[in-house]
C-alpha cells in the first residue's frame, strides 16, 4: 500500500489530477468488490473501462495498455518491460490494435501498476469495455512517400479528445476507429466502426474519406462511405455526433447486435447520417482545428559509422533489406520493420531492443504495427547493416515482414475465455511450412494469412486471403479441435475490401497440409503474375472445397488429431464468458445508485466549467432513473431511444409520473441546445427533480406492496 501511495504522489506532482482520481477510484472499487458492496457485473464493467480484463485462467487479469496509433518511445517500452517483470510473467504481447498486453496480473495490484505506467504517460483508460477503444493508424504515417499528409496528429487528436468523455463510457458496445495514411488502406478502415483515409481536395485543403459501419466478428460487415471528403476541422465533431447517436440508438440487450454496423443495417446509412446531423448542435465544438505539430520527432544523433560492414552473410542481409525496409519520404532515411513471432517479445529482449533503437533510430517514435510487429523510423542508409547485425544477434532480423510468412494470430486458448482451439502453436507450424518449403513466398506481400482462436476475429481472419479460426467437431463421443478455413478476403484499397468466405472445416492438425495443398495448387495452375484472390475468383469456392475435401474426411483421423497443438491432453471445449462487450446492469437499486452517481458527476463537471460533460452526465441520470422504473414494471428495452418512448407510454401518458412535457421532449433537449452554462445548469436541475420524483414513486410502490 505504501508503494501505491508513493506512485500516486509522483502522478500528483506531475499535475495529472484526473489520472490520480481514476486510479484511486479503481483501488476503491476493488476494495468494495472484495467486501461484497459491488456486484460482479457492475465491477466488471468498471474494470474493463480501465484496461483490466479477465482471462481464461481464474484469479488473474490481462492488462491492456493503450498506445494511441501504436506510437511508443523507448523510454515507455522500458517502463512496460519493468512492469511486466514486476507484475506479470516477463512477456509483452503486441496486438492487432497496436496495444501491448501483459497477462497473469493480480487484480489487487492493478492500481499500483497503472500508477507506475502513468509516470511515463501510459494509460489503461478505455483500453477495454464499451468505450472508444485504441485508435489505430498506419504505422508508416509520417514517413511514407505515398501519403497525402501525416495522419498521426489526427489520430492523436481523437485519442486526446474522447478520453474520459462521458458519452463514450457506457456504450452498447465498443467503438473502433482507424486511420489509413493513403489509398492502399493499410489500416483496413473498411472493417472498422469509423475509418478515415486522407484526401486533399482541388483547393489544396486537407480532409478525409469517411467509412462507417464496418466490423468483423461472427457476422462481418464491410463499411459504407459516409463522406467522400470531410474537412479536417469537422473530424472531431463528426465522431462525437456519431458516438452520441450510437449511445442513444444502439442495441443494449443483445451484445451480438450492439455494434454500429447493426444499427446502420437496421435503419440505413442515410437515416443514420440524418441523426448525426441532428446531433451536431449538441457537440462540444462545432469546429475543431487539429494541431498538426503535436506529434514531434527527435531525429537520431549522427552516428560514427566505420568503413567496414559488420554483416557476416551478405545474401541474408540483402533479403532482409528487401523485405523489411523501405525508403522514407525524408531523404536519406529508411523505415525498418521488425517481425515479432505471435506478437510476443520478452521484457529482457525489449530492453536490448530499446538500446539498439536508441543507437540507430528515432527513440521517441517507434510504431507497433497492426500485424503485431515494430516499425523503426529514421534509420540512415549507412546505419542499416549495423542495425541488421544488432537485430540479428537479438534474433529479431527475420525477413518477410508483412509477407505470406508473417501470420497474424490472436492469443487464442493461451489466455482468452472465448477461444475454442489453439491459434498460437499452430501459427508457428504454419510459418515453418512457408519458410522451409516455400521460401520465395517471404517476398510476397500481396497474400495475407491470419488466424483467430474463435469466430470473433481478433486475429482478423475475416479479411485474410487465407484465414483460419478455431472450432471443433464431434466424432462419436470425442471432440476434435478444428480449423474453419476461409479464403478470398483482403484489402482492395480506398476503403474497399473483401470478406473471406468459409470453405471447409478440418482437424487442426491438418492446418499445415491445408497450406501445402493451396500453395501447390496456386503455383501449378495460376498464370504468371496472377494474384491469389483473382485465382480464387476464377476457380470458385466449390473448386477449393473439392481441393481440400480429402483433408476434411473425418474417417481418416489419426489419434494425434484428437490433441490440439501444444497440448498433451485430449481436446475438450472449455469456453468461458467473454468480456469484450462489457455488461448490462439490470438491477433496479443499482440503476438508482448509478443515476445519483451521474448527477454528482454532473455537478462536479459544472463546477469545473465542463458544461458539455455536465449535460451528458445529467442525460445519463435521466436514462438510469427511467430504466429503473421500467425494469421494475418488467418492461425491457434495448436502446435509449426506445427507453424514452416506453417511459412516456407507461408512466407519463398514464399520469403515474407528472412532467411538464413528455419525457422525450424533456430528455432530448440535449441535442437541441448548445452546451453552454445556462442550459447545463437548467438541465441538471431538471434531472435532479426527475430523479427525486421517480425515487419517491418507487418508494411509494414498495410501501403499498408491504
Residue range 356-385: mean pLDDT, rounded: 95
Which CATH architecture is the domain 151-282 placed in? Answer: 2-Layer Sandwich (3.30)
**The C-alpha cell of 524 is what?**
501449378
More confident residue, 3 or 51: 51
pLDDT band at 411 (very low <50, low <70, confident <90, very high): confident
- For domain 408-562, which CATH number applies: 3.40.50.300, 3.30.420.40, 3.20.20.140, 3.30.413.10? 3.30.413.10
Note the CATH architecture for domain 314-393.
2-Layer Sandwich (3.30)
**Dihedral angle over CA of 683, 685, 686, 689, nearest 10:** 160
What is d(CA 98, CA 134) in angstroms, rounded to the nearest whole number?
A: 8
Q: What is the largest CA-CA distance in the chain?
A: 92
Contacts of 456 (CB under 8 A, 6+ apart): 216, 217, 218, 418, 578, 580
For residues 68 and 367, is the Cβ–Cβ distance under 8 A?
A: no
Structural domain boundaries of the chain?
2-118, 151-282, 314-393, 408-562, 588-705
**Are 579 and 53 within 8 A, CB to CB?**
yes
Whole-number pLDDT of residue 79: 97
**CATH number corresponding to 2-118:** 3.90.480.20
Same fold across 151-282 and 408-562: yes
pLDDT tens sequence across 590-644: 788 889 989 999 999 999 999 999 999 999 999 999 999 998 888 888 899 999 9
**C-alpha to C-alpha distance for 288 and 280, rounded to whole angstroms:** 13
> 672-681, pLDDT tens digit by residue?
999 999 999 9
| Residue 7 in this model has a pLDDT that exceeds 70 | no
Q: How far apart are CA 341 and CA 40, in angstroms?
A: 36
What is the C-alpha separation between 680 and 504, in angstroms, rounded? Answer: 57
Question: Nearest 5°: phi and psi at 480?
Answer: -110, 130
Share of the chain above pLDDT 90, in %: 72
Could you report the per-residue pLDDT of 465-507, keeping only the tens digit for each? 999 999 988 888 889 999 999 999 999 999 999 999 999 999 9
Query: What is the pLDDT confidence band of residue 60, given thresholds at 50, 70 and 90?
Result: confident
* DSSP tag of 648: I
User: What are 369's three cell numbers?
Assistant: 504495427
Enter the C-alpha cell of residue 575: 469456453
List, for residues 418-440, the tens digit of each pLDDT value.
Answer: 778 889 999 999 999 999 999 99
Is the predicted pLDDT of residue 2 greater than 60, yes or no? no
Q: How confident is the model at residue 585 (pLDDT cuts 50, 70, 90)?
A: very low
Q: Higher-confidence residue: 38 or 223?
A: 223
Q: Which residues of 459-491 are buried (b: 16+ CB within 10 A; e: fewer)?
A: bbbbbbbbbbbbbbeeeeeebbbbbbbbbbbbb
Q: Which pLDDT score, from 0 to 100, does residue 583 have?
A: 37
Examine the pLDDT at 74 and tell me if it is beyond 60. yes
CATH class of the domain whose range is 588-705: mainly alpha
Long-range pairs of 261-269 with CB within 8 A, sequence gap ≥ 24: 261/193, 261/213, 261/214, 261/215, 261/221, 261/223, 263/213, 264/212, 264/213, 264/224, 265/213, 265/221, 269/212, 269/213, 269/224, 269/226
Q: pTM value?
A: 0.91
**Is pLDDT at 41 greater than 90 in this prediction?**
no
pLDDT value at 121 more than 60 = yes
Amino acid at each position: 500500500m505504501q508503494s501505491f501511495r508513493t506512485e500516486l504522489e509522483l502522478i500528483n506532482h506531475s499535475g495529472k489530477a484526473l489520472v490520480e482520481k481514476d486510479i484511486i477510484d479503481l483501488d476503491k472499487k476493488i476494495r468494495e468488490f472484495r467486501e461484497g458492496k459491488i456486484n460482479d457485473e457492475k465491477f466488471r464493467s468498471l474494470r474493463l473501462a480501465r484496461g483490466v480484463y479477465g482471462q481464461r485462467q481464474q484469479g488473474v487479469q490481462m492488462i491492456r495498455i493503450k498506445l494511441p496509433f501504436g506510437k511508443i518511445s523507448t523510454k515507455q517500452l522500458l517502463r512496460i518491460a519493468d512492469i511486466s517483470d514486476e507484475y506479470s510473467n516477463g512477456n509483452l504481447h503486441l496486438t492487432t490494435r497496436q496495444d501491448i498486453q501483459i497477462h497473469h496480473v493480480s487484480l489487487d495490484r492493478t492500481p499500483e501498476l497503472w500508477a507506475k505506467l502513468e509516470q511515463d504517460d501510459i494509460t489503461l483508460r478505455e483500453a477495454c469495455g464499451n468505450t472508444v477503444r485504441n485508435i489505430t493508424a498506419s504505422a508508416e504515417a509520417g514517413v511514407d512517400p505515398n501519403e497525402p499528409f501525416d495522419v498521426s496528429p489526427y489520430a492523436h487528436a481523437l485519442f486526446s479528445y474522447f478520453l474520459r468523455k462521458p458519452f463514450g463510457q457506457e456504450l452498447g458496445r465498443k467503438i473502433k476507429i482507424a486511420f489509413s495514411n493513403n489509398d492502399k488502406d493499410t489500416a483496413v478502415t473498411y472493417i472498422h466502426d469509423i475509418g478515415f483515409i486522407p484526401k486533399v481536395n482541388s483547393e489544396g485543403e486537407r480532409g478525409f474519406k469517411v467509412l462507417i459501419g464496418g466490423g468483423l466478428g461472427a457476422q462481418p460487415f464491410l463499411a459504407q462511405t459516409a463522406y467522400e471528403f470531410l474537412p479536417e476541422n469537422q473530424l472531431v465533431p463528426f465522431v462525437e455526433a456519431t458516438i452520441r447517436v450510437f449511445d442513444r440508438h444502439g442495441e443494449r440487450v443483445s451484445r451480438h447486435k450492439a455494434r454500429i454496423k447493426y444499427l446502420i443495417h437496421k435503419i440505413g446509412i442515410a437515416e443514420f447520417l440524418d441523426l448525426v446531423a441532428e446531433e451536431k448542435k449538441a457537440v462540444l465544438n462545432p469546429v475543431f482545428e487539429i494541431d498538426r505539430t503535436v506529434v514531434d520527432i527527435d531525429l537520431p544523433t549522427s552516428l560514427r559509422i566505420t568503413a567496414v560492414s559488420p554483416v557476416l552473410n551478405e545474401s541474408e542481409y540483402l533479403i532482409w533489406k528487401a523485405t523489411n525496409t523501405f525508403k522514407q519520404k525524408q531523404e536519406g532515411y529508411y523505415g525498418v520493420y521488425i517481425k515479432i513471432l505471435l506478437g510476443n517479445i520478452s521484457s529482457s529482449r525489449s530492453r536490448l531492443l530499446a538500446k539498439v533503437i536508441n543507437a540507430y533510430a528515432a527513440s521517441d517514435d517507434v510504431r507497433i504495427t497492426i500485424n503485431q510487429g515494430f516499425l523503426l523510423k529514421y534509420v540512415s542508409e549507412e546505419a542499416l547493416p549495423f542495425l541488421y547485425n544488432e537485430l540479428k544477434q537479438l534474433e529479431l532480423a527475420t525477413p518477410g515482414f508483412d509477407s505470406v510468412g508473417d501470420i497474424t494470430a490472436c492469443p487464442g486458448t493461451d489466455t482468452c475465455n472465448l477461444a475454442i482451439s489453439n491459434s498460437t502453436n499452430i501459427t508457428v507450424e504454419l510459418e515453418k511450412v512457408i519458410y522451409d518449403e516455400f521460401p520465395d513466398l517471404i517476398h510476397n506481400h500481396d497474400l495475407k494469412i491470419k488466424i483467430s482462436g474463435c469466430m470473433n476475429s481478433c486475429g482478423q481472419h475475416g479479411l485474410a486471403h487465407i484465414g483460419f479460426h478455431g472450432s471443433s467437431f464431434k466424432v462419436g463421443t470425442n471432440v476434435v479441435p478444428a480449423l474453419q478455413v476461409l479464403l478470398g478476403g483482403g484489402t482492395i484499397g480506398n476503403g474497399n475490401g473483401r470478406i473471406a468466405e468459409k470453405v471447409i472445416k478440418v482437424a487442426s492438425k491438418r492446418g499445415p497440409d491445408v497450406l501445402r495443398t493451396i500453395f501447390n495448387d496456386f503455383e501449378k495452375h495460376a498464370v504468371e503474375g496472377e494474384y491469389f484472390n483473382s485465382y480464387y475468383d476464377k476457380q470458385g469456392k466449390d473448386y477449393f472445397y473439392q481441393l481440400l475435401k480429402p483433408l476434411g474426411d473425418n474417417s481418416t483421423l489419426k489419434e494425434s488429431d484428437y490433441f490440439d497443438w501444444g497440448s498433451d491432453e485430449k481436446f475438450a471445449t472449455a469456453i468461458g464468458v467473454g468480456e469484450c462487450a462489457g455488461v448490462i446492469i439490470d438491477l433496479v437499486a443499482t440503476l438508482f445508485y448509478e443515476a445519483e452517481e451521474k448527477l454528482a458527476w454532473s455537478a462536479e463537471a459544472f463546477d469545473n466549467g465542463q458544461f458539455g460533460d455536465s449535460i451528458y452526465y445529467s442525460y445519463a441520470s435521466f436514462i438510469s432513473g427511467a430504466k429503473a422504473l421500467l425494469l421494475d414494471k418488467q418492461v425491457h428495452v434495448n436502446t435509449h431511444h426506445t427507453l424514452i418512448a416506453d417511459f412516456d407510454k407507461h408512466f407519463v401518458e398514464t399520469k403515474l409520473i407528472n412532467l411538464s412535457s413528455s419525457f422525450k421532449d424533456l430528455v432530448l433537449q440535449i441535442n437541441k441546445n448548445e452546451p453552454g452554462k445556462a442550459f447545463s445548469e437548467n438541465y441538471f436541475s431538471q434531472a435532479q427533480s426527475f430523479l427525486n420524483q421517480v425515487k419517491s414513486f418507487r418508494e411509494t410502490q414498495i410501501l403499498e406492496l408491504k
